[in-house]
Amino acid sequence: MPIAAVATAPGRGAVGIVRLSGRGLQPLVDVLLGTPLVPRQATLLPFRDAAGGVIDQGLALWFPAPQSYTGEDVLELQAHGGPVLLQMLLARCLQAGEGLGVRLAEPGEFTERAFLNGKLDLAQAEAVADLIDASTEAAARSAGRSLAGAFSQQVDGLRERLVRLRMLVEATLDFPEEEIDFLQQAGASAQLHEIAAALDALLDGAQQGALLRDGIHVVLAGQPNVGKSSLLNALAGAELAIVTPVPGTTRDRISQTIQIEGVPLHVIDTAGLRSQTDDEVERIGIARSWDSIADADSVLFLHDLTRIGQPDYDAAEAQIAARLPADARLLHVYTKRDLAATLPADALCLSARSGEGLQRLRELLLQRVGWHAAPEGLFIARARHVHALQRARQHLLQARRRCDEPQAALELLAEELRLAHDALAEITGAFSADDLLGEIFSRFCIGK
C-alpha cells in the first residue's frame, strides 16, 4: 500500500518536502501533476488542488523502482516550507491517491521499506536515525560511516568466517567414518582463535561508537554549596545555573550536554543533599537528586575543601557516602582548591573559578567509561549491537573451550558456533524478529 508524509521537520522553513512511496505510483503522478516527469530530474511546475487551483509552485522529483530510497516508486514534492501549505499539499496527495490506497506513513516507515526491500541492512537503517540525532560532529561522522556500511561490512566478514568454520565442523559430523582429525588437520582451533580476536576488536569499536551515540550521563552530587553549580557552569562554559552563597539555591535538576573529544557528556546538576529540610520544594528536589544518581553512568561526589574537618560537615559527608554507589561509577572530586590551605594527597582537586583541574576531570570521566583515542574510521553503534557482540563473544569462548578439550564434542561445538553466528546476524537484520523491527522503526520521525 502506498504511503505519504511530510518529510521535513515541523515548523516554518524555506523548503518543505512531501514524500510518497509505493508500487505502481505512475497513475498518481499523472493525476497529481498532469505532466510526465523525467526520472531523477527536478521539474519545476505548479502543484494544484482537485479544482485546478494552484496550491504552490515547486520542484517534483520522480524515482521509479527499484532505483529509489525505498526500492519502490518514490515521488518527492519540494514546496515552500509553511506548515499549512505542506498539510494542504499532503491532503491533495492523499485525495489523488485514494484509488491506489495511499495512506499516511507511520514513523520510520520509509526507511523500514528500504530495509525490507534490501536497500539497507538493519544497522545501516539505524544509522539513518543516528545521523539525524547526532549531537556532536564526531557522532555525525561515525553515523555516516555506519550508513555507508563500514560497521555492517565488518560484521558480515565475521559471519562469513564463522560460516566456513561451521561447514567444516558439520561436514565432520556428517562423515564420521572418514576418521579425519578435524581439529588438527582443518586448523579449526587456530581459525576459532582468529575469529575471536577479530570479534574482540569489533566489540571494542562498537563500545566506542555506542559512547559517541548515547554519551555519558554524569551527576554532580554533594551537600549544598560545595560547588556543583559552579562546576556545571565551568564545564559548559556558560552561566547555566544560579550560583549564590545561600544553601539550597538549586531546587531541581539542571542538565546540559557538552562534549569531550566528541563524546556527548550529559551533565546533571542536582539539589544539595542533606538529611533534613523544612522546605517541601527542596525535599522534592533532593528526592529527584537520588533518582538521578541511581541512573547515572558516573557520579561526581563533590567535597568542599574549605569545610573539611568541620564536625557537622564531615558527619553529613559520611551519611551521603553511605547511600552513594560503591562502584566504579563514583568519583570523588574536591572543589575550591584556590581557597584551600592544604590539599589531600592523590586526590582530584579543582577550582571552577580558575579552571585548574578541569582538564584532568574530563580525562578521568572518559577513562571511567572506557573511552580511548578514537581512530578516524570509528563507526556509530547502539546498545543492542554491543549486546549482540557480547553474546557472540560468549558463545565463541564456549566454542574455544569445546575445541580445546581432548575429546571434543563436535555437536556442542557446532551449536556454539551457530549461536554466535545468529547473534551477529541480528545486528544487520539477516536474522531478526518482527517485534525488534517494530521497536527500532517506531523511534524514527514520520517521513523518514
User: Which of 35-39, 183-187, 327-331, 409-413 is predicted with the least confidence, judged by mean pLDDT?
Assistant: 183-187
Mean pLDDT of all residues in 159-184: 72
Mean predicted confidence (pLDDT) in 307-335: 89
Cell representation of residue 63: 524515482
- CA nearest to 55, candidates 8, 7, 87, 94: 87
Mean pLDDT rounded to a whole number for the chain: 86
Beta strands in 23-106 (DSSP E): 43-48, 54-63, 73-81, 103-104
Q: How many CA atoms does the CB half-sphere of 228 hold within 13 Å?
A: 31
Of 48-57, 170-179, 283-292, 426-435, the range with the lowest mean pLDDT is: 170-179
Q: What pLDDT band is residue 241 in, cutting at 50, 70 and 90?
A: very low
Could you give the residue ranges of the DSSP H alpha helices within 296-382?
311-323, 358-368
The rounded percent of the chain whose pLDDT value lies above 70 is: 89
Residue with more model confidence, 70 or 173: 70
Percent of the chain with pLDDT over 90: 50
Q: Does pLDDT of 199 surpass 90?
A: yes
pLDDT at 174: 66
What is the pLDDT, as a whole number, of residue 23? 94
CATH numbers and ranges of domains, the chain? 3-116 (3.30.1360.120), 137-211+378-429 (1.20.120.430), 216-296+298-368 (3.40.50.300)
Comparing 413 with 90, the larger pLDDT belongs to 90
Cell, residue 427: 545486528
Identify the residue whose cell numbers are 566456513.
164
The confidence score (pLDDT) of residue 408 equals: 59
Query: What are the angstrom distances between the C-alpha of 279 and each of 58, 249, 275, 276, 329?
Result: 59, 12, 12, 9, 30
Long-range contacts of 139-146 (CB under 8 A, 24+ apart): 139/212, 139/213, 139/262, 139/264, 139/380, 142/209, 142/212, 142/213, 142/378, 142/379, 142/380, 143/213, 143/380, 145/377, 145/378, 145/379, 145/380, 146/209, 146/379, 146/380, 146/381
pLDDT of residue 246: 47
Does position 185 have pLDDT exceeding 90, yes or no?
A: no
Does the pLDDT value for residue 13 go beyond 80?
A: yes
Residue 249 pLDDT more than 90? Answer: no
